[in-house]
Chains A and B, each alone.
Chain A
């Protein structure tokens, strides 16, 4: 018998049929947390509902979305009503949500995230404003319940670790609606006391129990506290807003007490070792100084002081020797010069001096004579030349050449005489006494005089015509 093979489509179809005919699945009340939320542009919601063990895809059509009074976001816990069916195309089952409500706890989570974001943006969580916790406070303030494990743990830890510290408890409500305000108020009051550090916290509990430490009023009170604040809320894993604002976060109240003070045994140990270290250090310093002193005392100069002036004595000897040598040299040099002088030829033969001078003056005399003779000869020659000059011997030539020169000049003058020019027919134009030689000096209507060889004419200008280009 051959098996009948189904197609995938057929199988999916069958499964869908199975789901759709199951009355339990047609109206399911489901609770879970939203994730992968996506609002489609056409108005439908697509998301996943999950819890610790499983998840289911969900779709909410826009007609149902209209009934939803809130805006869903990832992480929100919701209660949904819907029908579970198979989406054949993907072969998966999903819930078609018709109604959706917020689950109570989810609200808190949203509020927490919103406040956390708001305060972070305002800068309340900035690391730069966090104050340092003093190592050895004189007095510690505590804001917590007056009964319960928290205060007990804190006080026993402090006593064990650093019993010399004083404490003041500012008792506060640590859960319930009024707790937030009460905690904030106690923090403010604590700031009016002379305390070095403030522990604010409570023991473990549910998220609702710890809720007051997520309230804005508590966060602001911690922010405004000028005393450094250590937060100690609940267990290790819980992180409240107070933890973010505080100057230091402790995972538990016991840890807070440990962080607030130094361990006294450490201090005692240090005091002991500091005494030893100081003692060793001072001994070492003294020893160093001693050694230095001994070395100095042992030095050659200190042990044998005469060595100081022995050195000087030696130096003096050397200087004296040198002076002796120098003086000897100087004297020798002088003697050599003297000998050179006295042994010179002239000193031994004074007549040579006379001969030298005699020769010198004889030469000079000869030269002088020679020069005078030459000058005389030149003068004579000059005189002779003058005496025999042609003109001196023939003065009439002078006269002749002069008269010839005169004659030629007279002839030139005759030619240049303007009267001769006039005789030839030229005229001189005058404006009063001024001779006019350019037409540019003449204007129409001017009165001019024209001088001819035998008289002059008084005229009036009718027209001036300039010749072009001649210049």
Chain B
């Protein structure tokens, strides 16, 4: 799927990268062009992460069935 191919970085990796860029920018110890490109990257990462979190698609819980395949699982309320 297209989405999965683009997002080679896992969600956690993106957050980590974002944290690292933010602290670099805050340290102020960056050359101007580099600062601008890092800022652009930070904005991009932030947008991607927010989008992922707001995905409306409900994640479906799976269960391993008797014959070894994964099926959808619904919690039975007792």
Contact = CB atoms under 8 A, between A and B. Distances in A.
Contact of A278 (B12, B42, B52): B42
Nearest to A148: B78
A236 B16 CA distance: 33
B43 A275 contact: yes
A98 interface: no
Contacts of B39: 278-279, 281-282
Nearest to B60: A166
Contacts of B18: 271, 274
Contacts of B73: 146, 167, 169
Contacts, number: 105
Contacts of A135: 12, 15
B30 to A, nearest CB: 6
Contacts of B52: 164
Given A136-B12, A148-B78, A282-B35, A271 B28 contact: no
A151 B59 contact: no
Given A155-B75, A285-B32, A267 B59 contact: no
B42 A274 contact: yes
B12 A168 contact: no
- Between A134, A168, A274, the greatest number of chain B beta carbons within 10 A of the residue's beta carbon is seen for A274
A177 B32 CA distance: 68
Contact of A268 (B30, B43, B50, B64): B50
Contacts of A289: 32
A275 B46 contact: yes
Interface in A128-187: 134-138, 146-149, 151-152, 155-156, 163-171, 186
A267 B28 contact: no
Which bracket fits the contact residues of B? 35 or more
Contacts of B46: 271, 274-275, 278
Contacts of A155: 61, 75
A125 B15 CA distance: 32
A270 interface: yes
Contacts of B25: 277-278, 281-282, 285
Interface string A283-299: 01110110000000000
Interface string B37-49: 0010011001001
Nearest to B50: A271
B28 to A, nearest CB: 6
B75 A278 contact: no
Interface of A: 134-138, 146-149, 151-152, 155-156, 163-171, 186, 189, 264, 267-268, 270-271, 274-275, 277-279, 281-282, 284-286, 288-289
- Top 3 A-B residue pairs of the complex, sorted by shortest distance between their CB atoms: A281-B25, A136-B12, A169-B63
Given A136-B11, A147-B76, A278-B42, 4 more contacts: A167-B62, A168-B70, A271-B50, A285-B35
